[in-house]
Amino acid sequence: MELLSLELNENENHEVFNNIKIITNLDESDINIEISSTDEGNIRIRYFTDNKASKKNYIEKITGRVTKLLIEYTKLESINFLKESYFYFDEEEVSAIIADIEDEIHNDIKIQLIVKNKFKEILERSSIINLNGFINFRLKFIKLYAAQVVERCIDSYLMKKEYMDFISIIKLISDAEEGEYDVANVIFSDQKLQIYDKNMKKITYFDNNAEFSAELDSKMTYDETVINLLLSVSPKKIIIHESKIDKKDKEALNTLEIIKKIFEGKIEICKGCKYCDLF
């Protein structure tokens, strides 16, 4: 019994054809696949089974593979748009943006459901589907979607780059400062991060000249006071008592991430000590 027949042309869409293995390598012994050429020069992929009772499940599995193929096509459309429209990025920048593009599309359940449902609509009318025609007429919106994804990922990349540049400047300023403290202990206490000296005396002041400007992503919450305090005292070593950190506290985790970047080379991680037991 034939389940489905797909046709595609290599010359019409290289992105789809180059990923043909996605729909021809099925992990299902009861589905037989026959690949042949048509008189029009297309590749025809036919799916058969002798297990009629599982027909619905098999078609669903094939549909899932076709959806995966089309999502890969969407990624490639996005990457092509990036390279054609934003050619001024260097190779390293392009690689970073592509990684973001692939992640966003891979995790976008909505676009996957839309593509899958569009395919199912055609499948309800016919068991013979030309994939090139399906993409050209039913997935026209993919080009617009790809452009939007690229623009979002570029904005995100530039924001991250600005963030890292800003952190680098702050780090240089911090490294140039000669602090009065040999050690600063960072401990999570009373639902927030607290700073103590080597004798575990709480440090509660900071110099406004060392203020950490709020140049970071506004979506990223962090404790600016803690960072200002560390910049002010500029310790030679910072001990982060990680066992006491609330892993559900996003602000604390973000603050620690910034501290680790600014004071790279001065950080020591404590997994548990006598001071940890006191808080």
Over residues 96-106, the pLDDT tens digits come to 999 999 999 99
Q: Do 186 and 164 fall within a single domain?
A: no
Cα three-residue angle 144-17-15, rounded to 5 degrees: 35
Instruction: Please tell me the predicted confidence (pLDDT) of residue 129.
Output: 94
The helix/strand/coil state of 132 is helix
Over residues 3-41, the pLDDT tens digits come to 899 999 878 888 888 888 999 888 777 888 998 888 788
Q: How far apart are CA 58 and CA 64, in angstroms?
A: 10
Instruction: Please tell me the predicted confidence (pLDDT) of residue 96.
Output: 95
Q: Confirm whether 173 is domain-assigned.
A: no
pLDDT greater than 80 at residue 180? no
Instruction: Please tell me the predicted confidence (pLDDT) of residue 208.
Output: 46
> Read out DSSP for 5-64?
EEEE-TTT-HHHHTTTHHHH--S-TT-EEEEEE-TTS-EEEEEE-S-GGGHHHHHHHHHH
Q: Do 158 and 35 fall within a single domain?
A: yes
Q: Do 43 and 144 fall within a single domain?
A: yes
Q: How far apart are CA 149 and CA 217, in angstroms?
A: 19
Q: Do 187 and 92 fall within a single domain?
A: no
Q: What is the mean pLDDT of residues 55-75?
A: 93
CA torsion sign for 106, 108, 109, 112 is negative
Range in 93-97, 186-190, 245-249 the model is least confident about: 245-249
Q: Do 46 and 153 fall within a single domain?
A: yes
Q: Do 42 and 150 fall within a single domain?
A: yes
| Amino acid at site 140 | K
Query: How many angstroms separate the Cα of 247 from the Cα of each of 68, 151, 182?
Result: 34, 32, 28
Range of the domain at 27: 2-168
Strand runs labelled E in 42-182: 43-48, 128-130
Q: Do 57 and 89 fall within a single domain?
A: yes
* CA neighbor of 55 nearest in space, from 76, 71, 31, 33: 31
Q: How far apart are CA 134 and CA 44, in angstroms?
A: 15
Q: How far apart are CA 157 and CA 147, in angstroms?
A: 15
Over residues 209-248, the pLDDT tens digits come to 445 554 555 456 888 889 888 888 888 899 999 887 878 8
The structural domain count of the chain equals: 2
* Residue 213 DSSP one-character state: -
Q: Do 64 and 151 fall within a single domain?
A: yes
The whole-angstrom distance between residue 128's C-alpha and the CA centroid of its chain comes to 36
